Amino acid sequence: MASDTRFARPLFILHTDPVLRERVHRVGGDRFDCVDVGAWDTLIRLLGEAPLTALAVVDPYSGSPGRRELAPQLQVLLSRYPSVTVLAALEIRPGRFHDLRTLGEWGVSEIIALDRDETTESIARKIRSAQGRLMRSFLAHSLPSFVSSRGRAVLLAAAELAAHGGQGSDLAESLHLSERALLRWCERSHLPAPRRLLAWVRVLFAAELLDYPDQTVLGVAHTSGYATDSSLRRAMQEFTGATPTELRRVGAFAAAADAFLSELLRLREEAKPRAAPPGGDAGGGE
């Protein structure tokens, strides 16, 4: 039975190469909701309405006179939506190596080399390799401003460990900290304690995978480091208040990300000093 495209991950294509478009559509199948777009302003508008899990395959020179310079609209898009996964499809030839470095600096996730006869299979591999990048991009760019640079470093390190079953001691070691120092970093950055933080990051990673309609809950569980699908369901229920099926109906990653941000805000509020009651000192006097 085909997957319900209402909940498929959006994949926008801004490119005039008919062979590339056909191959990307073939890769998408039931896994993505593939949409061809004709202009940057349309793509930017659609991304503003799309879930965080959206992908885009673009011609980075689209609209550029003579195709000599990278399109400035691509930089605008990536700065406005840093969590979007963007793949740039172009011919790689002498004179464009500086452009390749610039695309990486702007935040492009993958390069599809049109002059190297990218097959449907190789394009599929590059799209699959984007798994997990959304979560890392979210942790790097979409956190509240009160999360310090140290807190962001902890979160990014946790993202590298979570899918591989890393523990709190592994997280401390990866940051060259003692476990006590790591706990202080988390407290001062209004982050959950290391063990719960790793559990949260694993939930976010699993939620991203749930947004692929062809992924089974059991497959997501194993990929995300859960022993069984039941353990994944328990974790999702505990951390987000919803089951995997319920999360898929509303956009799993976006819902899990909202729940995570809510916990960060709660931790920050709890860390604020309590104000003294009006009209008297806080201790009540002797």
Q: Under 8 Å CB-to-CB from 73, ≥6 apart: which residues?
A: 40, 41, 44, 62, 63
Q: Position 241: which residue type?
A: G
CB count in 10 Å sphere of residue 21:
17
Cα pseudo-dihedral 6, 226, 255, 26, rounded to 10: -30
pLDDT at residue 132 in the model: 61
Higher-confidence residue of 273 and 59: namely 59
Which of the listed ranges 7-16, 84-93, 103-112, 261-270 does the model predict with the highest average pLDDT? 261-270
Residue 1 has pLDDT above 60, yes or no: no
Q: For 208-248, how does the pLDDT look when each residue is reduced to its tens digit (9 = 90+)?
A: 888 877 678 998 887 777 889 999 999 999 999 999 999 99
| 205 contacts 256 by C-beta, under 8 angstroms | no
Can you name the residues that pair with 90 across neighbouring β-strands?
113
pLDDT at residue 286 in the model: 35
Q: For 106-153, how does the pLDDT look when each residue is reduced to its tens digit (9 = 90+)?
A: 989 889 999 777 788 888 888 776 656 777 777 777 788 889 889 989
Residue 6 has pLDDT above 60, yes or no: no
| 181 contacts 172 by C-beta, under 8 angstroms | yes
Residue 258 has pLDDT above 60, yes or no: yes
Q: DSSP letter for 61, please.
A: T
Higher-confidence residue of 22 and 283: namely 22
Q: Is 110 helix (H, G, I), strand (E, B) or coil?
A: strand
Please state, in angstroms and rounded to a whole number, the distance separating the CA atoms of residues 168 and 158.
9
| 231 contacts 168 by C-beta, under 8 angstroms | no
Residue 285 has pLDDT above 60, yes or no: no
Q: For 147-179, how does the pLDDT look when each residue is reduced to its tens digit (9 = 90+)?
A: 988 998 999 888 877 655 667 678 899 899 999
pLDDT at residue 100 in the model: 93
pLDDT at residue 20 in the model: 93
Helices (H), the chain: 18-28, 40-49, 72-80, 97-106, 120-128, 133-141, 149-162, 168-174, 179-188, 194-210, 217-224, 229-240, 244-250, 252-271
3-state secondary structure string, 201-264? HHHHHHHHHHCCCCCCHHHHHHHHCCCCHHHHHHHHHHHHCCCHHHHHHHCHHHHHHHHHHHHH
Q: What percentage of residues in the chain have a pLDDT greater than 70?
A: 86
Which of the listed ranges 73-82, 169-178, 256-265, 268-277 does the model predict with the highest average pLDDT? 256-265
Q: For 79-97, how does the pLDDT look when each residue is reduced to its tens digit (9 = 90+)?
A: 888 767 899 999 988 888 9
